[in-house]
Amino acid sequence: MRKKFLTVILFISLMLLVNVAMVSSKHSSCRGSNHSVRKLLKCVTLEGVREHQAALQTIADANNGIRTSGTPGYDQSAFYVAIQMAAAGYEVTVQPFEYLTFIELSPTVLEKTEPAPVEAIETRIMSFSGSGDVTASVSTVSEITGCDPADFTGFPAGDIALISRGACTFAQKATNAYDAGAVGVIIYNNTEGNLNGTLSSTFALNIPVTAVTQDVGQTLAATEGLVMHLQTDTFRGMATTYNVFAETKTGRDDSVVMVGAHLDSVNAGPGINDNGSGSAVLLEIAEQMSRVKPRNKVRFAWWGAEESGLVGSTYYVDNLTQEEIDDIALYLNFDMVGSPNPVFFIYDGDDSDGVGAPAGPPGSAEIEQKFEEYYEWIDAPYKGTDFSGRSDYGPFIAVGIPSGGLFTGAEGIKTAEEVEVWGGTEGDAYDPCYHQACDTFDNVSLDALDINADAAAYVTLKFAKNTSAIENAKAEGFVGAFSTNAVDTHELHDHHHSLVTE
């Protein structure tokens, strides 16, 4: 593992003190070795996971409700992880990196001021929007897409432009509006549902751009004498953030079991399910495995800037030598493992579902089977999900490292068939607060979080003790070799399918 890292002492000197308890006194009965599966699972508790989620919520509350990479909320989250892992006896290292980021520094405001009464309008800022605070009449680019400068002929300079989504990029619409003299832009969806869009990192105009639903946009367009207040406060530029690693002091250096979760939130909220759930599960497992002497070295990782396009994990993998890549036996990923309307998804390492993305690298099937083994042991249902490239397994798959993990769903809609198996609410998102301010401490299925904490602990310990199945799979190869189908993570600039265009 390349040692281009800050030491923990230097890192701590750069961080603000976190106003939460740093070292927990829980699990007094679990001070000894947790080398057996049954002992470890007894000691990995929902209470322990929730204590870490509570700490992350406290950090967010003290930092404008967010833990976005590049902000003090993220720095303090990383500091919290580093302190907890150092106290547990791990070798802790912190990897700084710079990246181009967009941060919503304070909540976006969209209000109808005329005709009376004043009314707040639900809105979502477009990523890479500029800053601004304007109150102006609203002119609708009616029945036209706004994709051509000619669409703005006669547009009143100094107005806010209201434009429908469709036919070209959001950046092109916003640029044409700006050139026509607009002081702000509101883009409304052309289908049902919220619009989570990005102007892309090349957008540099200092104009506020935000998005509303189709229903809201059509209502605004039909309002006579409409005047609106639009306020955005953003940062666009280079920022420094961190990956945090906690590594066992024993175990084979040439057979490293990596276990990862992203630590950052989006700009909209504290991210306590996405991904305070995976991050807290890793913290709890690592604490309870701290007295285990594994046969294979275990390296826990908390990734920065995942929400900006898997930046932290990509930076880490890109800076490994080939020898260091070869030394990583496998990678386990835990991103959103406590969604409030959950399905128990396992990444489909062998493409047995036969849909979507191809199988993972040789050894991924064995990882999937190990998770299935746990769910079958406790008689819990499970379902495969594709390696879609939406989380931090992507860079590992791209260099041939066997990967797997768990997921309980994001913005996808729960089906009637899934409700029959897992319960919950048909027609609702797996996480109705996905990428929103309401992704807080209470945005969780305690049952899913409890089961998946144990599933993650079970598989981590199993591979910490024995990776022979992975090694054999690598040696034998894999039918439908992944190398011709690898996910190109360098093209995954917008995590979780943020929309650039129609």
Model confidence over 131-171: pLDDT tens digits? 999 999 999 987 678 999 999 999 999 999 999 998 899 99
d(CA 331, CA 403): 5
Quick one: pLDDT band at residue 383, thresholds 50, 70, 90? very high
133 three-class SS: strand
pLDDT tens digits, residue range 77-132?
999 999 999 999 999 999 999 999 998 888 899 999 999 999 999 999 998 999 99
Count of other CB atoms within 10 angstroms of residue 466: 14
Helix (H) or strand (E) holding 495: none
Quick one: pLDDT band at residue 339, thresholds 50, 70, 90? very high
Quick one: pLDDT band at residue 200, thresholds 50, 70, 90? confident
d(CA 399, CA 157): 52
Helices marked H in 114-223 — which ranges? Answer: 170-179, 214-221
- For the cut 50, the answer to whether the pLDDT of residue 486 exceeds it is no
Whether 287 is a known active-site residue: answer no
pLDDT value, residue 14: 43
Contact of 472 with 401, CB cutoff 8 Å: no
pLDDT value, residue 32: 66
pLDDT value, residue 13: 40
313 Cβ contact list (under 8 Å, min separation 6) = 243, 260, 262, 301, 303, 306, 392, 394, 395, 396
286 three-class SS: helix
Write the DSSP string, 18-39: PSS-SS----GGG-S---SHHH
d(CA 345, CA 348): 9
From the list 133, 79, 20, the residue with the least C-alpha distance to 244 is 79
Catalytic residue among 104, 306, 307, 418: 306
259 Cβ contact list (under 8 Å, min separation 6) = 282, 285, 298, 299, 300, 301, 331, 332, 334, 456, 460
377 Cβ contact list (under 8 Å, min separation 6) = none
Distance of CA 417 to the CA centre of its chain: 27
Helix (H) or strand (E) holding 120: strand 119-120
Residue ranges of E strands in 126-263: 132-140, 160-164, 184-188, 209-212, 227-247, 252-262
Instruction: Output the CA angle 457-287-342, nearest 5 degrees.
Output: 40
- For the cut 50, the answer to whether the pLDDT of residue 16 exceeds it is no
From the list 305, 333, 494, the residue with the least C-alpha distance to 401 is 333
Does 381 sit behind a cis peptide bond, omega within 30 degrees of 0 on the bond before it?
A: no
pLDDT value, residue 485: 38
Q: What single letter denotes the amino acid at residue 112?
A: K
> Average of pLDDT values for 19-29?
45
Q: For the chain, what percent of residues have pLDDT higher than 70?
A: 88
Contact of 77 with 241, CB cutoff 8 Å: no
* Pair type for strands 403-407 and 328-334: parallel
Half-sphere exposure of 313 (CA within 13 A, CB side): 35
- For the cut 90, the answer to whether the pLDDT of residue 440 exceeds it is yes
Mean pLDDT of the chain: 89
pTM of the model as a whole = 0.82
pLDDT tens digits, residue range 1-15?
433 444 443 444 444
Instruction: Output the CA angle 238-92-260, nearest 5 degrees.
Output: 70
> Average of pLDDT values for 193-216?
91
Based on C-alpha coordinates, what's the Rg of the chain? Answer: 24
322 Cβ contact list (under 8 Å, min separation 6) = none
Quick one: pLDDT band at residue 19, thresholds 50, 70, 90? very low
Cross-strand pairs, 347? 385
- For the cut 50, the answer to whether the pLDDT of residue 478 exceeds it is no
d(CA 386, CA 8): 36
d(CA 246, CA 323): 20
> Average of pLDDT values for 232-245?
95
Helices marked H in 297-363 — which ranges? Answer: 311-318, 322-327
